[in-house]
A and B are shown apart, each in its own frame.
Chain A
Amino acid sequence: MKRFLIPLAIFLLLVAILGYALLNLDPREVPSPLIGKPAPAFDLPQLAQPEQKFSPASMRGRVWLLNVWASWCVSCREEHPVLVQFSRTGTVPLYGLNYKDARADGLRWLAQFGDPYIASAFDNDGRVGIDYGVYGVPETYVIDKAGVIRYKQIGPVTPEALEKKILPLVKELEKS
């Protein structure tokens, strides 16, 4: 009988993990442990100009947004027009983190759908993404003048999220 119990045992383990995940983890709502902490430092080549680098340190003294995206990410397509439109307003600098992507794919993607970013850092092996606790692409971080992460949007930036959460926060941070 014992070996016939194996499927049941595997299944119960699966249910336990799923139950735990359901009750304790929420990929969308749980605030990132990084909120209120300094944005992890990095120094990555830029997507469009590999010879130039981008580092969050260069943004000290400004409130800015970091958007994690990838050409293979389907939800990014949903979000992208919102970002393109938003970038035209020039309210706040928007930088991209091109996550686990091939350079050619990323560039092609921007050519096709428009480039809302001042620049995108090229995180080919996803190492910076791990530092930032990227779970699913897209994610967007609001970083204040002192280089501290103040908000993290998990999933696509919607016009509502921009209107209700991100922009008010940016305004407030810019005052201080």
Chain B
Amino acid sequence: MIPEIGLFALCLALFFAAVQGVVPLVGVGRNSASLMSLGRSAAQGQWLLIAIAFGCLTYAFVANDFSVAYVAEHSNSALPLAYRVAAVWGGHEGSLLLWALMLASWTLAVSLLSRALPEAMVARVMAVLGLVSFGFLLFIVTTSSPFERLLPAAADGRDLNPLLQDPGLVIHPPMLYMGYVGFSVAFAFAIAALLSGQLDAAWARWSRPWTTTAWVFLTLGVGLGSGWAYYTLGWGGWWFWDPVENASFMPWLVGTALVHSLAVTEKRGAFKNWTVLLAIGAFSLSLLGTFLVRSGVLTSVHAFASDPRRGIFILLFLAVVIGASLFLFAWRAPKVGLGGRFALISRETLLLVNNVLLVVAAGSVLLGTLYPLFIDALGLGKLSVGPPYFQTVFVPLMVPLLFLIGLGPSARWKEASVSDLKVRLGWAFGLALIAGVGLPFLFGNWSPMVALSLLLATWILAATVVDIRHRLKSAGRAPASFWGMHLAHVGIAVFVIGVTLVKGYESEKDVRMAPGDTVHVGGYSVRLIGVKEAMGPNYRAMVGEVELSEGGRVLRSLHPEKRNYFSSQMPMTEAAIDTGIFRDVYVSLGEPVGEADGSGAWSVRVHHKPFVDWIWAGCFLMALGGVLAVADRRYRLKGKSNNGNPS
């Protein structure tokens, strides 16, 4: 009964979405306040209905209702409760429902927090969000209902993919989807502005906190996904340029460009068309990502079962939503004025270059992701694009971008003086040069890539200090958004340091270890004490007891595991990691190799990864910077124009 209630709620939500998508626009046309305000009510009702549907599906998982096909495929009675709840979004149908719930939640938030905006603007935004939601709900109801019954019911479920049985699953997809879907708000504001023909600074200011919030979630989502891959895949990598990873990374790149471009539009009224195009682009890439992941046109780690009907539906949806938006853009954009003029050397120019670099980077990732498909479609054969392509293309684009991060905040709007910048930032660059050339010696061997990266990271940090000092000297204090921007930039520097040092100085050993054997990696000693069998709730594990010591002093014992899940017969490697600020020691169990001689030996892999956690610390700082920027009080002062805070 409960699943039927869920399906019914979903169908009702579809109806509410249709109302939300059409009625407010009619209201704008007729200038009727009551019709316009219906958008808000419909959005709130829709949220409630989708939440009910989501609750029903969660209930089916918690209660082990294996008469629901989706539950039977993705859960098992032996699965721990927390994973049964997370398994709700462990497959195609449920993750779409999560998508819809996130969209409804963003819409709900906009409907509640938009009292200060003109009613017609809110009505248009609600309508756009309603139409997007309508498309998604229609997709779920017609091709991907999670409430489909399985008759007769299965005796037990097939179990959740062991790779997904990890705390990462509980938190990573919701964060990522919050970010993905959050760009729909920026998109809705952009379309509403195009529809009204009023592309002004006010539009940018309304849209900015929403865009930054979505960006914060996406940053955390991508970062968490990378961290999850690091410790569950058992081989110490943190980014694989897999099509699905790329699908989340492209909206992040364009979203980052959008966050910066919105700043120019808000402060200087410039780049209006460009900003609108980026807002459309960020959301389009989110939709494209959904298409790539869900249609099965590309093969990837996240190999999802594919159904051609689903692919066709998403592609049509994509074509309608993005096609219509770009058409609207082509129609309205030519009438938009250019906004404030600016000189060749100015903060505007620097931000424009930042935007171009980020968009080109996103484009090159898109090209690399789709290239095999294009070549195949043109009948030119089949090929694969791997990390070598992405690294070759990506690094040269990031070098100038990182340099600009140091320069941008110190440059003035409208016109900046080169000599002024030289005087102000000269010592920062000098310091960076010394650090870049000198620091690699501290770590052992010197290489140009490490030196360049450390130079850029130090440059960002030093330039940030210069700008903060200058600001505090001249104004005494600074708004939250100023601190947010700098914190996010520091996050980038921290991220760059992490990536560089782990890539440049990591070391690892693969050895055959019998109990009592010791291996030395990166100044640490790792001794295998023994391997014991242990039972988990739904798996049997071989658990290694490993002693980590440094200079004869025992630090701690680590317990890497090799698990065999009963239901899927799939072995999983659970690495044991000793996390530290300056390094991780990462131990994973390979195969038992001592069966023949009875020595109980295992193949063991030990990594020493200097500064690897800085990668995620950097992501976290970027996100925290975003939170600070959103917390700026000027977004809460309604209707009051701000007075030129650089951010």
Residue ranges of A at the interface with B (Cβ–Cβ < 8 Å): 1, 4-5, 7-8, 11-12, 14-15, 17-28, 72, 74-75, 77-78, 81, 84, 100, 108, 111-114, 126, 129-130, 133-137, 154-156, 159
Contact = CB atoms under 8 A, between A and B. Distances in A.
Interface string B459-482: 000000000000000000000000
B323 A135 contact: no
The 8 closest A-B pairs by CB, nearest first: A8-B326, A74-B301, A136-B299, A135-B382, A4-B330, A114-B591, A112-B590, A5-B330
Contacts of A74: 233, 240, 242, 301
A113 B588 CA distance: 11
A100 B386 contact: yes
Interface in B357-394: 370, 372-374, 376-377, 381-384, 386-387
Given A8-B329, A11-B323, A72 B387 contact: yes
B550 interface: no
B571 interface: yes
B643 interface: no
Contacts of B303: 75, 155-156
Given A21-B297, A130-B383, A134-B384, A114 B590 contact: yes
Interface stretch (B202-210, B308-316, B520-528): B308-316
25 contacts: A4-B333, A5-B330, A7-B329, A8-B329, A12-B323, A14-B370, A17-B377, A21-B377, A22-B297, A22-B312, A25-B376, A25-B377, A78-B163, A78-B301, A111-B510, A112-B590, A114-B603, A135-B372, A135-B383, A135-B384, A136-B299, A136-B384, A154-B299, A156-B303, A159-B569
A132 to B, nearest CB: 10
Contacts, number: 128
Interface string B555-591: 0000000000000011100000000000000001011
A18 B297 contact: yes
B598 interface: no
A77 B240 CA distance: 13
Contacts of B296: 26-28
A100 B388 CA distance: 10
Contacts of A19: 315
B599 to A, nearest CB: 17
A26 B308 CA distance: 10
B508 to A, nearest CB: 8
Given A75-B299, A136-B299, 17 more contacts: A4-B333, A8-B329, A8-B330, A11-B284, A18-B297, A18-B373, A20-B377, A25-B297, A25-B377, A26-B296, A27-B299, A28-B296, A72-B386, A78-B163, A112-B603, A136-B372, A159-B569
Interface in B473-520: 510
Interface in B285-312: 291, 295-301, 303, 306, 308, 311-312
Given A75-B303, A108-B510, A112-B605, A135 B376 contact: yes
B308 A78 contact: no
Interface in B316-335: 318-319, 322-323, 326-327, 329-331, 333-334
